[in-house]
Amino acid sequence: MANAAVIGAGGYLGGELLRLLEHHPSLTVTAAVSKSGAGATVADVHPNLDRYADLALRADADRLDADIAFLAQPPGEAMRIVPSLLERGVRVVDLGPDYRLPDPAEYARVYKRTHADPAHLGEAVYGLPELFREKIAKARLVANPGCFPTGALLAIAPLLERGQFDGPVVIDAKSGTSGAGHEPTPATHHPEAALTVWPYGAPEHRHLPEMRAAIGRTGARVPPIVFVPHLVPLVRGILSSIYPTGARGDAEGWRSIYAERYAGSPFVRIGPVPRLPWTQGTNRCYLAVESSGGAPVVFSAIDNLGKGGAAQAVQNANLLLGSSESAGLDAPGFGV
């Protein structure tokens, strides 16, 4: 058994991590950190997790008894504690954005702050296992991808690797409100979001540079990307409709490409146009290829808190620790 710490345990991603780790066969949660919840127990903050009724939330990450730490924090927080964790031999899966962009100047442009740990940016491995499995297994520090990039990259990477389109790609994504985090904002507060669909993030959502950087890591051509996310009145899930232009081949041929590319990936499903309940609570990405106007269209569905967050972090931890990639992640989605 390995000891795990969850830092940022009070939010949605932290709670989902704790839920997934509750029955993990080779990871035991020995520490949970939440500045806002310090002094309470995990079960006080997340009443559905009564197994953790005796685990008190700590205010800081000092002197953690952990082999691996999951960091579920806002931008700017992880980079202040990662150096000390690595120095103490703790492996890190960062669910925030601090290590997703390898260029500190690009990080400063996108997140409007100077990176406090540029020395480890080059070391961090981008944690999309289906594309970077071997590198993740050898890493100390993994940058868990953002939720939108996860669904989009799994959909377009096989096509780019095979040169199946040569024009821009349009990514039209719909996301539930939990992606905005635990604290309500004027846009994500339920009365504002419940009866509308709202496009946001223009002119450049911060996940767009992450997508470009991740494609560059694969060695494939980085196409022009038009990315428009929309907030929809759901809690969990992201459905992306993806339109590659200048397409070569047809929908049937593209389905074969996906089937071959993800043959060894336990969490990617190729099939009919997906529904979001299939993904909820899981680490699965459902992909489908259909034809519209004679051109292939790709659909991608994930749970933003699952494959787009906490479940993918557990998948990365499994690879880091040499466990089965699927350990603790076998549960199916809801279905309806």
Encode pLDDT of 170-179 as tens digits. 999 999 999 8
- Helix/strand/coil for 223: coil
161 pLDDT exceeds 80? Answer: yes
Contact 152, 227 (CB under 8 A): yes
Q: How high is the pLDDT of residue 185?
A: 86
Q: Is-catalytic flag, 285?
A: no
8 A C-beta contact, residue 278 and residue 287: no
Written as six digits, the tokens of 238 are: 């992201």
What percent of the chain has pLDDT above 90?
A: 90
Alpha carbon distance 211, 228 (integer Å): 13
Q: Summarize pLDDT for 27-57 with one digit per residue, the tens.
A: 999 999 999 889 899 999 999 999 999 999 9
**Helix, strand, or coil here: 131?**
helix
d(C-alpha 167, C-alpha 192), whole Å: 37
Distance of CA 110 to CAs 43, 73, 231, 246, Å?
A: 36, 17, 21, 29
Strand, helix or coil for residue 312:
helix
Rounded distance between C-alpha atoms, residue 251 and residue 270, angstroms: 12
For residue 247, give Cα distances in angstroms to 52, 66, 211, 218, 254: 51, 48, 20, 20, 10
Round the average pLDDT of the chain to a whole number and report it. Answer: 96
Arithmetic mean of pLDDT, 12-25: 96
What is the per-residue pLDDT across 72-83, written as a single tens digit (0 to 9) for each?
A: 999 999 999 999
**What is the model's pTM?**
0.97
Q: For residues 302 and 61, what is the distance between their CA atoms, to the nearest angstrom?
A: 31
CB 157 within 8 A of CB 165: no
Per-residue pLDDT tens digits for 198-247: 999 988 999 999 999 999 999 999 999 999 999 999 999 999 999 999 99
- Determine the Cα–Cα distance for residues 2 and 68; give it in Å rounded to an integer: 8
pLDDT, tens digit, 9 for 90 and up, residues 235-285: 999 999 999 999 999 999 999 999 999 999 999 999 999 999 999 999 999
Which domains does the chain show, CATH number per domain? Answer: 2-123 (3.40.50.720), 147-304 (3.30.360.10)
Which one is catalytic: 64, 125, 141, 147?
147
Q: Which residues contact 177 (CB under 8 A, 6 or more apart)?
A: 188, 190, 193, 231, 233, 234, 235
